[in-house]
Amino acid sequence: MLCLKKRGCSLLEDWREKQDRCRVEGTEGTNHLSFLTSILFSHNIPHLRAYGLVFDAGSSHTALFVYQWPADKENNTGMVSQTFSCHVNASGISSFVKVPARAGDSLRECLDAAMSVIPADRQREAPTYLGATAGMRLLSRENESAATQILTEVSKTIQEYPINFQGARILTGKEEGAYGWITINYLLDSFTKYSLVYRDWIHPSSASIWGALDLGGASTQISFVPAGPITEGEEAAQFRLYGFDYTIYTHSYLCYGQNQALLHALRIIVNSSSSDRFEHPCYPMGYSENITRTSFYSSPCAERQESAASGNVILQGTGNASKCRETFQKIFNFSCGHNTSCGFNGVYQPKVNGKFLAFSAYYYTFNFLNLTEGQPLAMVEAAVQTFCAKNWAELQSTYPKEKTSHLKNYCASANFILTLLLKGYGFNNDTWDNIAFQMQAANSDIGWTLGYMLNLTNMIPTESPSSLRGHEEGVWIASIFFIVLMLALCLVFLLIYFLK
């Protein structure tokens, strides 16, 4: 190109110099942008939420739990949280033997509520499960076709909703115990946690692993990692989670849930004589009720010869905690038989080891009695004695909003729990302090449902993740702002040079 005028040539050379300088700086800016882009898009950025639903169809009631997690972080860690729960306003599904269709209808209110929580565009992908526990295990043992029909009806109802229904089934006691153990340790970060110091996932010490104590209406489960080997394989469950192997002891005792235990104690009292009037040491003084024998003899847990009993009996409370405890001891067999170590009824159990979290009916009973703050055993037993000694009028005055069906049974439930934990499972004055009574962790309800969903959706990887993936939303926004700012500065730089 020819330079016609000196000033024009100077301007042209000036422009070329500025252009080259901007090209260099622009290249550097592009490199920065490429670097930032590679960082951001090499990670999974959470845009959408995924959802999962699990019905806990227990012996006395059904509950629905909705869980959520970042849609692009499946098979990662520490991401699942409970976002909604709903308790069905009806008895457990096993109670609908004569009208199975109503078992399905009973779920509609909670399903409708869940649909209002889950975004419409995420519903069809939401895996949905129904797991039935001890109530249905008992019904299946007594009337398998009736249990199957109830599961069919609840499945029909759930399939009417725009969700990814994965089936309804009856859990084994072993599954119920194991999934409860997984839930607790997942929520408490016992399996793995991210260390800001090492910038990596770390495996907490084995001392961080919790045992699980679950008390339902018809069964009770104990699950923990023993100090030594498990000598009877049928009582063991094995998992590989986050790159580590776990072998836990887990056992479920059918008919030893809280409701069935209370009925068992009642049968022992009534069987003690041929009279129609009985003193009940677990009921408060001044309380009296007239009930039919079939109400407690018709249970699937009752002996066959007892089930034919008929007529009415009158029960009068005496509020005697010591005799109440003695009555509950009669529903157990504490002989180990051929086992050198056992729980009760001759079932093999290693010595309890480590920390335990007691939930469900354990928590509800002790929470009512204000005994969930880590009180020592002596204080707990004294508090139970004091409560049991209160007469019925005093209890009604102190707890006017409490249902009679619950209030009359708190003394009985507390003494059953103490008998189960101390003489059944082998806790003592030294190990009592290792038990925490709790119903929630990390803003989620404790139970088997979360562990069940995590297992069936493969949300817990078998191997340990190597690094933390993804950024929080704030970091993502800040990064975008930084990119825009760099582009704006480059434009300003160009304008300044051209205006000179």
State the pLDDT confidence band at 207, using cuts at 50, 70 and 90. Answer: low
Catalytic option among 176, 232, 394, 402: 176
DSSP code of 308? Answer: T
Looking at residue 326, what is its pLDDT? Answer: 98
List C-alpha distances in Å: 367 to 60, 370, 375, 484: 19, 5, 12, 55
List C-alpha distances in Å: 299 to 98, 135, 216, 308, 329: 16, 11, 16, 11, 20
**218 annotated as a binding-site residue:** yes
Q: Return the amino acid letter for 465.
A: P
Looking at residue 465, what is its pLDDT? Answer: 59
Better-scored residue on pLDDT, 407 or 25 = 407
Average the pLDDT over 69-80 and give the result.
Answer: 64
Residue 381 is a catalytic residue: no
Q: What is the pLDDT of residues 248-294, one digit of tens each?
A: 999 999 999 999 999 999 999 999 888 899 999 999 999 999 999 88
Cα dihedral 286, 287, 289, 293 sign: negative
- Among the residue ranges 72-76, 129-133, 179-183, the one predicted with the least confidence is 72-76
Task: Check pLDDT > 50 for residue 26.
Answer: no
Q: Which CATH number fits domain 49-172+444-456: 3.30.420.40, 3.90.1150.10, 1.20.1740.10, 3.40.50.300?
A: 3.30.420.40
Task: Check pLDDT > 70 for residue 479.
Answer: no
Length reported for the chain: 500
Q: Which CATH number fits domain 255-332+352-438: 3.30.420.150, 3.40.30.120, 2.40.50.320, 2.70.150.10?
A: 3.30.420.150
Measured distance CA(421)–CA(427) in Å, rounded: 6
Looking at residue 2, what is its pLDDT? Answer: 36
**221 annotated as a binding-site residue:** yes
Task: Check pLDDT > 70 for residue 13.
Answer: no
Average the pLDDT over 193-206 and give the result.
Answer: 70
**220 annotated as a binding-site residue:** yes
The rounded mean pLDDT for the chain is 86
Q: pTM of the predicted model, to two decimals?
A: 0.82
State the pLDDT confidence band at 45, using cuts at 50, 70 and 90. Answer: very low
Task: Check pLDDT > 70 for residue 455.
Answer: yes
Domains 49-172+444-456 and 255-332+352-438 share a fold: yes
Average the pLDDT over 346-363 and give the result.
Answer: 98
Q: What is the pLDDT of residues 300-311, one digit of tens each?
A: 999 865 555 678
Would you tell me the crossing angle of helices 361-368 and 410-419 to the nearest 10 degrees? 120
Average the pLDDT over 142-166 and give the result.
Answer: 98
State the pLDDT confidence band at 497, using cuts at 50, 70 and 90. Answer: low
Measured distance CA(175)–CA(155) in Å, rounded: 21
List C-alpha distances in Å: 57 to 17, 131, 218: 77, 6, 12
State the pLDDT confidence band at 367, using cuts at 50, 70 and 90. Answer: very high
Better-scored residue on pLDDT, 247 or 456 = 247
Whether the CB-CB separation of 348 and 234 falls below 8 Å is answered with no
Looking at residue 492, what is its pLDDT? Answer: 72
The domain ranges of the chain are 49-172+444-456, 255-332+352-438
Residue whose tokens read 């699937």: 300
